[in-house]
Amino acid sequence: MCGLVGIVGNSDVAVSLYDTLTVLQHRGQDAAGIATCDNGKLSLRKDNGLVKDVFRTRHMRRLIGRMGIGHVRYPTAGSSSPALAQPFYVNSPYGLCLAHNGNLTNSATLAEELYSEDLRHINTDSDSEVLLNIFAHELQQVGRVAPSADDVFKAVQGVHRRCRGGYVALVMITGYGIVGFRDKNGIRPLVFGKRELNGHTEYMLASESVALDSQGFTLVRDVAPGEAVYIDAKGNLHTQICAEPAPYTPCIFEHVYFARPDSLMDGISVYKARLRMGERLADKVKRLRPDHDIDVVIPIPDTSRTSALELANRLGVKYREGFVKNRYIGRTFIMPGQSERRKSVRQKLNAIELEFRGKNVLLVDDSIVRGTTCKQIIQMARDAGARKVYFASAAPPVRYPNVYGIDMPAASELIAYDKTEEQVQELIGADWLVFQDLEDLIAASHEGNPKITQFECAVFNGQYITGDVDDNYLKALEASRNDAAKKQQRRKPEEPADEA
């Protein structure tokens, strides 16, 4: 999962891009980058690390221009080399910079086509480089000295014809504008907004609406599935649907975990969706254990707080903050290996003993993926003196890999894979474990926007909406992207990050 931002303004945009990336930092902590354009000249800075560490004053002074794009990354495909930080650049046609979120499910086939048919060289194992070169080839077929909006849309149409998967991308065309486009199923999120500044209209494209809020932009709407939004260098807005109609299926895991609660996605308030998750989970607890002996509900910070609060209210049980979080430790779900995740939990959380001693505690988390974190947290609660430790997940069991841009590639690394809920309960060491039902999770999001009738829920039900994911694909994906493979990739010599 990654975070994207693009701005076409009337003054230098680098500081706004930087500030926006800090707001989107929750979407990726592996690498960050910004590319700007000034009178046909590109400036680029990218590297591994958090936004605050990648950009120094000397870098910001060189990032001049009235339009630019930014990216924060965590690796789902490819290694973690600084050379894989984005934006990516290719010089033909026009000079293109791309920032990408998601995964192409036919990346390997496309890479072969690019070499044998389009005569383009792919230098990394990143599907983002594949996507950039596909767009570049399609745009080059237009053959104009100066591309029009229609030319850009034709290129996006070519991308959608060739690419499969869940993806959004921002492409800056040097000297001409920025185009953002979204996969035809709308799996990955993208919004755009505008602001009036000194009598001029400026536009922003971003992964989440909170990015617009932070810079004083007003949300116009979500980019529709298969749609392209092009803002030319003069600040003119152009939009067009560039793909054949397909089922509108946004990723529900955005609502569960990834997105900030103050964001709106596809017309759905993430905050209210999480409140409804808590309500429905409370109803399930009451159905299963009407005479429960829960003394206190404690969230595992931060993502589960909203659901936990509503769950406690509906149960009529005290809500307490029982864990103090070290905010300088990254999100453990995004950590690249199991050993690093195990090590970081105790550094990240500390229990307040007064809230646990002698009590029956219901811990609430947004989901259980690998199970490493919740197992340790349950033990922390016991060490703090809890009499019984119950555990509630605001999401159903995660039993299947994700192929659309979330780092769940290996089924064998998912604690609920091929296991019953009772077996998971035993593995994590809880006295009782309750998962959200999938239909309740879907209803919690659907209520926010009744026009969206289905969601991408493959990690829960194994149904891959693009129709091109089979057992052979999943086996190959697991072999290349499990924790052991990532560990091997991190041993490779790292190349220096591009900087212009």
Report residue 474 as tokens: 């999943």
Rounded-to-integer distance, Cα 252 and Cα 401, Å = 14
Which is nearest to 278 in space by CA: 254, 312, 322?
Answer: 312
Report residue 384 as tokens: 């703090």
Rounded-to-integer distance, Cα 323 and Cα 333, Å = 18
Residue 116 makes CB contacts below 8 A (sequence gap 6+) with none
* Contact criterion met (CB below 8 Å) for 232 and 250: no
Segment (H or E) for 52: helix 51-54
What residues pair up with 180 in beta bridges, in sequence order?
Answer: 170, 229
Rounded-to-integer distance, Cα 134 and Cα 129, Å = 9
Segment (H or E) for 422: helix 421-428
* Contact criterion met (CB below 8 Å) for 443 and 434: no
Phi-psi region at 458: left, alpha or beta (left = phi > 0; alpha = psi -120 to 50): alpha
Which is nearest to 457 in space by CA: 395, 374, 389?
Answer: 395
CB atoms closer than 10 angstroms to residue 146:
8
Consult the annotation and say whether 365 binds a ligand.
yes
Task: Tell me the one-letter amino acid at 398.
Answer: V
Consult the annotation and say whether 483 binds a ligand.
no
The residues annotated as belonging to the active site are 2
Q: Which residue is it, tokens 């999770």? A: 441
* Contact criterion met (CB below 8 Å) for 397 and 428: no
Residue 299 makes CB contacts below 8 A (sequence gap 6+) with 305, 307, 308, 309, 319, 321, 323, 363, 364, 365
Residue 339 makes CB contacts below 8 A (sequence gap 6+) with none
Q: Where are the beta strands (DSSP E) in 39-95?
A: 41-48, 67-73, 88-90
Q: Is the peptide bond before 93 cis (omega within 30 degrees of 0)?
A: yes
Rounded-to-integer distance, Cα 66 and Cα 232, Å = 11
Question: What angle (nearest 5°) sits at the alpha carbon of residue 499, between those of residues 496 and 500?
Answer: 150
Report residue 85 as tokens: 């930080």
Consult the annotation and say whether 30 binds a ligand.
no
Report residue 110 as tokens: 């496309």
Rounded-to-integer distance, Cα 441 and Cα 299, Å = 18
Q: Which residues are annotated as a binding site for Mg(2+)?
A: 303, 365-366
